[in-house]
């Protein structure tokens, strides 16, 4: 008996510690036999581009936020100077034929000091919306896309429940100013990514490392902030369309053995599933290696008119080369992930549990050589079309991004733009690989 137990223990140890045979679990399609030109999209589907103010305008144009505070380190400069080039950027979008534009508005410009709102900046965004509408586009506004005014950051931003009211007041001020012009309101961009970059990986302000508990509290307060903004808007405008933007990365075990599976489970849970579950049930149950945080709010399950889905790729844990967390036969992008269009379909399946219309609010490739962009667009649009054919209620797609821009702590080496931007002259040039997107839009716009 003792001997058998010993053997069992040794076997368990081997299974736990030694990478075993390859058992790929992730979905893989055979692209050699797929005809990506076979596409079907419903009437009135939205074809758009997505941007964010700080990434497009940098610290020079947005000097009072928490990223600008660290511009010696990040060197965002003026980015592509979009704040001063709205006509040009809208014309570029129009040239692609898109009928929708997603932009974030910069809180630190609108409320540079606590409680002091800048009417001229609100007017600037009003003009932007008017011009977008005149160019035949529907507008989606994001209230929060990673940056905070310095005064809000100094108060501890979303770390404290008491600070949520500032975000609600700001959002409502913007809502009041733009309500006749905007079709979709996205409260917060990717709360999961925000909490992890700032509190676990430590690459973004406020640069905390492995502070899982703080990340959990921030997430909880962001979900709370979303619900409060949702309720406040619906109270004055029940017809307004309000949602949140959620990022999904599928973490999968590189080797199908226990420690890898456990790690993948944790990452999926913390990054996206706990958030998806909150909007499904009203229960946010966050279980990190060092803490457990719960937040129950029945209204959470009723706080979405749509869900925005940002999808880029999957990530394999722990790949032999952690800089390339995908399999050797996959096509890399310039970011640390591969082209994985199958995952877009799976991500749509996950957010479809929320039973509200879905908009793909971001999807795009960093490809400096522009030798994979067309392939990327072909595969992801195909995957999207397949999901729609299967009955998922996806109503729009926003390409990330219109222009090359400031890719947060990764700076300017990542080239996501449909248009290439010369960061010195700000000249914009359409990339060859982007033409396919314009063709798809033309062919399927109604
Ligand atoms: C963010 C963008 C970012 C993009 C590409 C998304 O997570 O919303 O701000 O530029 O991914 O990395």
Residue 286 has pLDDT above 90, yes or no: yes
**What's the whole-number mean pLDDT along residues 137-145?**
99
Residue 3's pLDDT band (cuts 50, 70, 90): low
Residue found by looking up tokens 């248009």 in the block: 419
> Counting Cβ atoms within 10 Å, is residue 446 exposed (0-12), middle (13-18) or buried (19+)?
exposed
pLDDT of 172-197, one tens digit each?
999 999 999 999 999 999 999 999 99
Element (H, E) at 311: strand 306-317
* Å from CA of 400 to ligand 1 middle: 8
Determine the atom of ligand 1 nearest the C-alpha atom of 364.
5
Structural contact between residues 63 and 121, judged by C-beta atoms closer than 8 angstroms: no
pLDDT of 340-378, one tens digit each?
999 999 999 999 999 999 999 999 999 999 999 999 999
Determine the atom of ligand 1 nearest the C-alpha atom of 416.
5
Structural contact between residues 325 and 26, judged by C-beta atoms closer than 8 angstroms: no
> Counting Cβ atoms within 10 Å, is residue 44 exposed (0-12), middle (13-18) or buried (19+)?
exposed
* Å from CA of 297 to ligand 1 middle: 28
Ligand 1 site residues, Cβ closer than 6 angstroms: 52, 55, 189-190, 193, 247, 310, 362, 400, 407, 416
pLDDT of 92-101, one tens digit each?
999 999 999 9
**What's the whole-number mean pLDDT along residues 157-163?**
98
pLDDT at position 322? 86
* Å from CA of 369 to ligand 1 middle: 19
* Å from CA of 1 to ligand 1 middle: 56
State the alpha helices, DSSP H only, in 75-139: 86-96, 107-110, 119-134
Residue found by looking up tokens 């599928």 in the block: 250
* Å from CA of 247 to ligand 1 middle: 9
* Å from CA of 55 to ligand 1 middle: 9
Determine the atom of ligand 1 nearest the C-alpha atom of 52.
9
Most informative mutation of 400, 407, 412 for ligand 1 (most atoms within 8 A of CB): 400
* Å from CA of 424 to ligand 1 middle: 23
pLDDT at position 8? 46
pLDDT at position 32? 97
Q: How far apart are the first and last CA of the chain?
A: 73
pLDDT of 109-133, one tens digit each?
999 999 999 999 999 999 999 999 9
**What's the whole-number mean pLDDT along residues 134-151?**
98
* Å from CA of 421 to ligand 1 middle: 17
Residue found by looking up tokens 């100077």 in the block: 81
Residue 38 has pLDDT above 50, yes or no: yes
**What's the whole-number mean pLDDT along residues 433-439?**
98
* Å from CA of 302 to ligand 1 middle: 27
Determine the atom of ligand 1 nearest the C-alpha atom of 335.
12
The overall average pLDDT reported for the chain is 94
For atom 3 of ligand 1, which residue has the closest CA? 407
* Å from CA of 63 to ligand 1 middle: 21
Cα 402 to Cα 98, 105, 422, 429, distances in angstroms: 11, 16, 14, 11
Determine the atom of ligand 1 nearest the C-alpha atom of 190.
8
**Does a cis peptide bond (omega within 30 degrees of 0) precede residue 249?**
no
Residue 26's pLDDT band (cuts 50, 70, 90): confident
For atom 12 of ligand 1, which residue has the closest CA? 407
pLDDT of 297-331, one tens digit each?
999 999 999 999 999 999 999 999 989 999 999 99
Determine the atom of ligand 1 nearest the C-alpha atom of 146.
9
* Å from CA of 96 to ligand 1 middle: 21
Determine the atom of ligand 1 nearest the C-alpha atom of 408.
10
Residue 13 has pLDDT above 80, yes or no: no
**What's the whole-number mean pLDDT along residues 29-56?**
98
Most informative mutation of 362, 376, 415, 418 for ligand 1 (most atoms within 8 A of CB): 362
Determine the atom of ligand 1 nearest the C-alpha atom of 405.
10
Structural contact between residues 434 and 418, judged by C-beta atoms closer than 8 angstroms: yes
Q: Which of 5-9, 103-107, 230-234, 396-400 has the lowest mean pLDDT?
A: 5-9
**Which backbone phi and psi does 316 adopt, to 5 degrees?**
-100, 130
């Amino acid at each position: 008996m003792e001997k058998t137990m010993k053997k069992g223990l040794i076997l368990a140890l081997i299974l736990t510690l030694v990478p075993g045979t390859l058992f790929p679990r992730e979905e893989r399609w055979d692209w050699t036999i797929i005809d990506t030109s076979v596409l079907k999209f419903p009437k009135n589907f939205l074809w758009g581009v997505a941007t964010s103010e700080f990434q497009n305008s940098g610290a020079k144009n947005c000097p009072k936020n928490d990223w600008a505070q660290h511009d010696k380190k990040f060197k965002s400069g003026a980015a592509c100077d979009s704040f001063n080039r709205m006509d040009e950027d809208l014309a570029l979008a129009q040239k692609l034929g898109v009928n929708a534009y997603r932009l974030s508005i910069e809180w630190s410009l609108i409320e540079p000091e606590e409680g002091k709102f800048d009417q001229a900046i609100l007017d600037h965004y009003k003009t932007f919306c008017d011009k977008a509408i005149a160019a035949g586009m529907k507008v989606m506004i994001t209230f929060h896309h990673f940056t905070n005014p310095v005064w809000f950051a100094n108060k501890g931003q979303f770390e404290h429940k008491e600070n949520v009211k500032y975000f609600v007041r700001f959002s409502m001020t913007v809502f009041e100013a733009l309500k006749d012009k905007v079709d979709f309101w996205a409260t917060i961009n990717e709360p999961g990514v925000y909490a992890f970059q700032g509190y676990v990986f430590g690459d973004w302000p406020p640069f905390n490392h492995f502070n899982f508990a703080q990340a959990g509290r921030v997430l909880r307060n962001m979900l709370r902030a979303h619900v409060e903004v949702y309720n406040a808007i619906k109270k004055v405008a029940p017809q307004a369309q309000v949602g949140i933007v959620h990022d999904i990365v599928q973490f999968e075990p590189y080797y199908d053995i226990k420690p890898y599976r456990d790690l993948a489970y944790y990452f999926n849970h913390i990054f996206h599933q706990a958030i998806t579950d909150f909007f499904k049930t009203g229960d946010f149950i966050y279980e990190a290696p060092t803490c457990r945080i719960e937040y129950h709010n029945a209204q959470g399950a009723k706080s979405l008119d749509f869900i925005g889905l940002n999808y880029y790729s999957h990530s394999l844990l722990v790949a032999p080369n952690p800089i390339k967390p995908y399999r050797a036969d996959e096509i890399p992008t310039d970011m640390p992930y591969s082209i994985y269009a199958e995952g877009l379909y799976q991500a749509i399946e996950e957010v479809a549990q929320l039973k509200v219309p879905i908009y793909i609010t971001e999807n795009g490739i960093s490809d400096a050589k522009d030798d994979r962009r067309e392939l990327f667009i072909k595969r992801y649009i195909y995957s999207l079309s397949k999901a729609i054919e299967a009955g998922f209620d996806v109503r729009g797609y926003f390409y990330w991004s219109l222009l090359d821009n400031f890719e947060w702590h990764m700076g300017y080496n990542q080239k996501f733009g449909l248009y290439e931007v010369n960061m010195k002259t700000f000249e914009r040039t359409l990339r060859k690989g982007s033409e396919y997107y314009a063709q798809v839009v033309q062919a399927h716009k109604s």
